[in-house]
Amino acid sequence: MLSIVLPAKNEAESLVTLLQKLRVAQPEAEILVMDDGSTDTTPAICTQYGVRCLSAPYSMGNGAAIKRGARVARGEVIVFMDADGQHDPAEIAHLLEKLEQGYDMVVGARDWSGQAGVGRGVANSIYNWLASRMTGHHIEDLTSGFRAVRADRFREFLYLLPNGFSYPTTSTMAFFRSAYAVAYLPIQVEKRTGKSHIRPLRDGLRFLLIIFKITTLYSPLKLFVPASASFFLLGLINYLHTYLEQGRLTNMSTLLWSAAVIVFLIGLISEQITNLTYKRDG
93 and 157 co-located in one domain: yes
Residues 131-149: tens digit of each pLDDT: 888 888 889 998 899 999 9
121 and 229 co-located in one domain: no
Domain containing 243 equals 221-277
pLDDT of residue 200: 47
End-to-end CA gap in the chain: 26
244 and 139 co-located in one domain: no
What's the Cα-to-Cα distance from 113 to each of 107, 120, 138, rounded to whole Å?
17, 11, 20
Instruction: Answer yes or no: is 272 within a domain.
Output: yes
104 and 240 co-located in one domain: no
Average pLDDT over residues 193-220: 63
Instruction: Answer yes or no: is 45 within a domain.
Output: yes
What's the Cα-to-Cα distance from 136 to each of 131, 179, 185, rounded to whole Å?
8, 12, 18
pLDDT of residue 81: 95
- Predicted confidence band of residue 259 (pLDDT cuts 50, 70, 90): very high
When divided into structural domains, the chain yields a total of 2
116 and 24 co-located in one domain: yes
Average pLDDT over residues 247-267: 92
116 and 130 co-located in one domain: yes
137 and 213 co-located in one domain: yes
Residues 22-56: tens digit of each pLDDT: 999 999 999 999 999 999 999 999 999 999 999 99
pLDDT of residue 215: 72
Q: Where do runs of H (alpha helix) occur along 136-250?
A: 151-155, 167-177, 200-218, 221-246
229 and 213 co-located in one domain: no
Instruction: Answer yes or no: is 236 within a domain.
Output: yes
239 and 191 co-located in one domain: no
Residues 79-89: tens digit of each pLDDT: 999 998 889 99
Instruction: Answer yes or no: is 67 within a domain.
Output: yes
CB 134 within 8 A of CB 214: yes
Average pLDDT over residues 157-167: 85
- Predicted confidence band of residue 281 (pLDDT cuts 50, 70, 90): very low
Residue 40 belongs to a domain with what CATH number?
3.90.550.10
Instruction: Answer yes or no: is 102 within a domain.
Output: yes
190 and 241 co-located in one domain: no
pLDDT of residue 91: 95
Residues 206-215: tens digit of each pLDDT: 666 776 777 7
107 and 85 co-located in one domain: yes
271 and 171 co-located in one domain: no
Instruction: Answer yes or no: is 282 within a domain.
Output: no
pTM value is 0.78
Of 12-26, 152-166, 199-213, the one with minimum mean pLDDT is 199-213
